[in-house]
Amino acid sequence: MSTYDLELRKAAAGVVVASLTGELDLTNARELEERLDEAAATEALLVVDINRVVFLDSAALHVFFRLSRHRGDNRLVLLMEPNAAVSRTLDIVRMKDAVRVVPSLDDLELAGAN
């Protein structure tokens, strides 16, 4: 069974940052989705930092696609530096077509997300 850690913090009014560490896969995807879904009200911006995720499979990828569809209106952002361990995987599945992906919180502010 793979393990991961999830740390939540409020970055600003209406913005919750969920920092993930570890491995995301079929063994923990359902729990991850529930925790992320509960982390922020639907109208809040949920920023998920995946820079310290070392592995994710298709079940975990689907979590992000479903959360994006459920939250709608650009209310989900993935925080991922270009050299993050899972960046190539997200490029292959064209995650940027479904979810806004930025390298840092500073870039998120520059993009006018707040």
Average pLDDT taken over every residue of the chain: 92
Domains of the chain are 4-106 (3.30.750.24)
From CA 89, how far away is CA 17, in angstroms rounded? 22
Specify the pTM.
Answer: 0.91
Q: State pLDDT tens for residues 41-68.
A: 888 999 999 999 999 999 999 999 999 9
Pairs from 94-102 (Cβ < 8 Å, separation ≥ 24): 95/61, 95/64, 95/65, 98/64, 98/65, 98/68, 98/69, 99/64, 99/65, 99/68, 100/74, 100/76, 101/77, 102/77, 102/78
Q: What is the pLDDT of residue 1?
A: 67
Q: State pLDDT tens for residues 91-101.
A: 999 999 999 99
pLDDT-based confidence at residue 114 (cuts at 50, 70, 90) = very low
Q: What is the pLDDT of residue 12?
A: 86
Q: What is the pLDDT of residue 112?
A: 47
